[in-house]
Amino acid sequence: MATCLFCEIAQRRRPAEVVLDDPQALAFLDIYPSARGHTLVIPRAHAEYLGELDDALIGPLFQAVKRVTELLQRALGAQGFTVGLNHGRAAGQHVPHLHVHIIPRYAGDRGTGVQGVVRSAPDEPLAQVAAAVRRSAEPRPS
Ligand code: 5GP
Ligand code: ZN
């Protein structure tokens, strides 16, 4: 990949306020924080989506997420966290290098839970949706 913003941060070629520097993952403050301590956790290896990230790197990425929540709780008194990925353009992903947002939550911050990001409940029965998902896990005829 020629120039990826977050690869440049991972390689320390672009400045960032790094809060955790692990062999496989890096955490730094979001430049436009939604709350005090809003942090992005990225794999050092370039991947746009979870499906592109080597399985062996999923654990280290989420271990870093866990560690950052502990640090933010201790350092800033965060009372909770909204943790999430804008995964894909339709979900609002702007930077094409996988990143996990950790947004510290404080009592009375007037934010919502993740269910609040979209309101487009289907009319379809849950059983029908679940059956479609389960079918997609079955091996395809060759
Ligand atoms: P997305 O919308 O892709 O999920 O979020 C990308 C996030 O990266 C945004 O919240 C944005 O503020 C943050 N961001 C974009 N460019 C930079 C940068 O150069 N440095 C840092 N620290 N954060 C950035
Ligand atoms: Zn990248």
The Cα 36–Cα 55 span in angstroms is 31
Instruction: Report the nearest atom of ligand 1 relative to the CA of 14.
Output: 19
The Cα 8–Cα 20 span in angstroms is 16
The Cα 7–Cα 46 span in angstroms is 7
On whether residue 15 sits in a domain, the answer given is yes
Looking at residue 2, what is its pLDDT? 62
pTM confidence score: 0.96
Tell me which residues have their CB closer than 6 angstroms to ligand 1.
5, 16, 28-32, 40, 86, 92-95
Q: What one-letter code names the amino acid at 110?
A: R
Say how many Å lie between the CA of residue 94 and the centre of ligand 1: 8
- Rg, C-alpha atoms of the chain: 17
User: Tokens in use for 66?
Assistant: 């866990």
The Cα 11–Cα 134 span in angstroms is 40
CATH code for the domain in which residue 32 is found: 3.30.428.10
3-state class (DSSP) for residue 39: strand
Looking at residue 17, what is its pLDDT? 98
Say how many Å lie between the CA of residue 44 and the centre of ligand 1: 16
Q: Which domain holds residue 116?
A: 5-136
The Cα 10–Cα 48 span in angstroms is 14
Looking at residue 34, what is its pLDDT? 98
Q: What is the pLDDT along the chain (142 residues), one digit of tens a residue?
A: 569 999 999 999 999 999 999 999 999 999 999 999 999 999 999 999 999 999 999 999 999 999 999 999 999 999 999 999 999 999 999 999 999 999 999 999 999 999 999 999 999 999 999 999 999 999 888 7
The residue with tokens 């020629």 is: 2
Question: φ and ψ at 50, to 5 degrees?
Answer: -55, -40
Number of domains in the chain: 1
Instruction: Report the nearest atom of ligand 1 relative to the CA of 16.
Output: 22
Looking at residue 13, what is its pLDDT? 96
Which of the residues are catalytic?
A: 99
On whether residue 79 sits in a domain, the answer given is yes
Q: What one-letter code names the amino acid at 41?
A: V
Looking at residue 114, what is its pLDDT? 96
On whether residue 141 sits in a domain, the answer given is no
Instruction: Report the nearest atom of ligand 1 relative to the CA of 93.
Output: 3
On whether residue 142 sits in a domain, the answer given is no
Question: φ and ψ at 28, to 5 degrees?
Answer: -145, 160
Looking at residue 1, what is its pLDDT? 54
